[in-house]
Amino acid sequence: MASFTISMVLVLFVASLVLPSTTALNIDFTYHNFPQMTAVLRQLANEYPELTKLYSIGKSVQGRDLWVLLVTNNPNEEPLLKPNVKYVANMHGNEPVGRELMLHLLSLLLDGYGKDDYITWLLDNTRIHIMPSMNPDGFEASSEGECSGVQGRGNANNADLNRNFPDYFAGRPKVPIQPETRAVMDWIKQIQFVLSGNFHGGALVASYPFDNIPANSPKNFRKFGSPSRTPDDDVFKHLAEVYSFNHKNMYLGVTCRDGSPPFSNGTTNGAAWYSLIGGMQDYNYVWGSCMEITLEISCCKYPKSYQLPQFWNDNQKAILQYLGEVHQGIWGQVTDQNKNPVSNATIKIKGRDFGTRTTYRGEYWRILRPGTYVLHAEANGYDPVELTVDVSKGVVIQNITLYQQSSTYYEPRSEPTFQRGSVPSITPVHNAASAFRSGSLKGIWPTFTNFLKPKEAVIFPRNYVYPTAQQLIDYSHPSNRLLLNYQYYG
Ligand SMILES: [Zn+2]
């Protein structure tokens, strides 16, 4: 009897070793064709339902799903201000190292949750969307071991997807927008991604926008590889360096081909390397308010599979660290005076022209390096707001309240006028904002300012937008001395 009990215990013990319930799939270091890749993604989703959500953003020309696996600690909820990040790989079908690394990344994240502190923090605070293949048709048409060919680079219509996006400088692409491109454009529109990486092969460098150059650039601009900088050049450089310096050797800047100039720190502005029209990273930045960089991770476009463990080894730390880079800058929620979210508000940082728009819940995210920034928020029907925000480290949460303009706002407006000696008979109004909104405010009469004297006033037309303190100064006196105190009369 006693021996029976012991053997039962042994059987259970051995069974638990063979079928561990929390171990991620052991992903083979081989290339997975479309059915195999789909099976891996399905298996991961089935094994970790509490950490994943598998979805398709559309189909390729030949009808293959464009799979995305979302990895986060509560995939069915969207906590306020939890940022969305993405990785897209295999956009060029014959550059599939990233495709395989994405499967290993998924396994690592899912297995590491609850065990590894960084991975647990990442999943608890970030929604990570991973698309192993944006061009599954091209992959099926390409061949292992082909280091520099173009077979399988394009989709099934032989369109290069990384030349197929609307371009900030050149407009719509000449080739019709492909189903794969359209799916990604819709995806970016639907989800406010904040940070993104796009995996390629054929070089070893982290490249950042712009890829294209202004149409009126001098002829030699293109020829001599001048950088085409965004106003967020500091942020992009930083992001690219986070990847290159966490990579085993990318930061060394060694080029894949003899005679090519080395990449300083393993990073480059896209256009400084070579300019192209219709790239995905420029599109993400300009239209998606998403900081995307392009990661060229293998000199050989389609290396033999025995090299995959080495590539995983070289990139693993960089891939993980880069995802955490979303957690810096200014985030917040925009609401109106009644605490209702204001969607589609534009958030801009002064000096950085490309703004971001708030989500349906009024959320915004802006990756920024430490510094002092002037943030400008505006939305249709609301008075604009400008704030100075200090970013020292990590994320600063800056919620913003926008006040609705009065219903009379849309009437034609006339400018405020400065009046002397003929101050109207008016009664004090202490809540200037509400007075302006109701349209009852006619003017201001300062009591403790240096620049408006007795019997002077600034008269606002009935329907004038609630002025900012700066505007009051501008309208009342040219000296721009600080407006210390003022009373309102309506
Ligand atoms: Zn490529």
Digit-coded pLDDT (tens) for 405-429: 753 333 334 455 555 554 444 333 3
147 CA to centre of ligand 1 in angstroms: 12
Residue 173 in contact with residue 212, Cβ under 8 Å? no
Specify the pLDDT at position 372: 97
Q: Element (H or E) spanning 82, and its range?
A: none
Strand partners, 486: none
Is residue 380 predicted with pLDDT exceeding 60? yes
Predicted confidence band at 221 (pLDDT cuts at 50, 70, 90)?
low
475 CA to centre of ligand 1 in angstroms: 56
When mean pLDDT is compared across 37-41, 92-96, 105-109, 211-215, the lowest value belongs to 211-215
Across the range 22-47, mean pLDDT stands at 90
When mean pLDDT is compared across 258-262, 358-362, 372-376, the lowest value belongs to 258-262
Specify the pLDDT at position 78: 94
Decide if 296 is catalytic.
yes
Per DSSP, helices labelled H in 260-336 are 270-273, 280-288, 308-324
Using a CB cutoff of 5 Å, list residues around ligand 1, an ion: 92, 95, 200
Is residue 473 predicted with pLDDT exceeding 60? no
Torsion of CA 14, 16, 18, 19, to 10 degrees: 160
Residues 6+ apart with CB under 8 A from 451: 476, 477, 479, 481
Specify the pLDDT at position 460: 54
Strand partners, 376: 348, 386
278 CA to centre of ligand 1 in angstroms: 13
Q: pLDDT tens for residues 246-258?
A: 999 999 998 898 7
91 CA to centre of ligand 1 in angstroms: 7
According to the per-residue pLDDT averaged within each range, which of 82-91, 380-389, 433-442, 465-474 is highest?
82-91
Across the range 340-362, mean pLDDT stands at 94
- Give me the catalytic one of 296, 325, 363, 456: 296
Rounded to an integer, what distance in angstroms lies between the CA atom of residue 461 and that of residue 206?
A: 55
How many C-alpha atoms does 47 have within 13 Å on its Cβ side?
20
The single-letter DSSP state of residue 91 is S
Which one has a higher pLDDT value, 186 or 487? 186
92 CA to centre of ligand 1 in angstroms: 5
The single-letter DSSP state of residue 130 is E
pTM comes to 0.79
